[in-house]
Amino acid sequence: MIDFFYPLVRRFIPLQVYRYGVCGVGNLFFDWILYYALYHYVFRAVNFSLGFITLSPHIASLLVDFPITMLSGFWLGRYISFSGSDLGAPKQIKRYFLVVLVNVLIQYLGLKLCVDVFLWYPTPSKMGVTVINTLFSYLMQKHYTFKAPKPEQLNETL
């Protein structure tokens, strides 16, 4: 179904980049909607106390949002965007998790800066920081997490 619109952009971008973009945008919108719902309806835009630490609502929303969208992103990457990888699922998920941890660190620091220092609204801040993550994530997923064999490696195995 994702490839249905690919002929419209085939001259401009490779299929893998197109699939990554479509899956990424879908997961990104899912992330933003989930984050918005968590922030406004679960944490109700107020601090959340765990007893030993109190989390701001934008950070609490990020911590709940993270594992859900990480798993959906891994699934989309493994089975749709980078299905040509010869790495096993356990290795891929470990690598994916490491890349996502760096992304979460970028998200955390970005949200702290935007919301707590610049006093910007949380949801647009989350959206802005996500743009930074996108390029980093694509390059890491392509060349590290779901690394496909090089053409000369394929010839050696045949």
- Predicted confidence (pLDDT) per residue in 92-107, tens digit: 999 999 998 898 898 8
What is the token pair recorded at 155?
């010839």
Query: Using CA atoms, how far apart are residues 90 and 1, in angstroms rounded to an integer?
Result: 27
Place of tokens 């997923």: 141
C-alpha R_g of the chain: 18
Strand ranges (E), the chain: 48-49, 54-55
- Does 135 or 44 have the greater pLDDT score? 44
pLDDT of 34-62, one tens digit each?
999 999 999 999 999 999 999 999 999 99
pLDDT of 107: 87
pLDDT of 61-95, one tens digit each?
999 998 999 899 999 999 999 888 888 999 999 99
What is the tally of helices (H) and strands (E) in the chain? Answer: 6, 2
Residue type, 139: L
Residue type, 91: K
Query: Using CA atoms, how far apart are residues 158 and 29, in angstroms rounded to an integer?
Result: 41
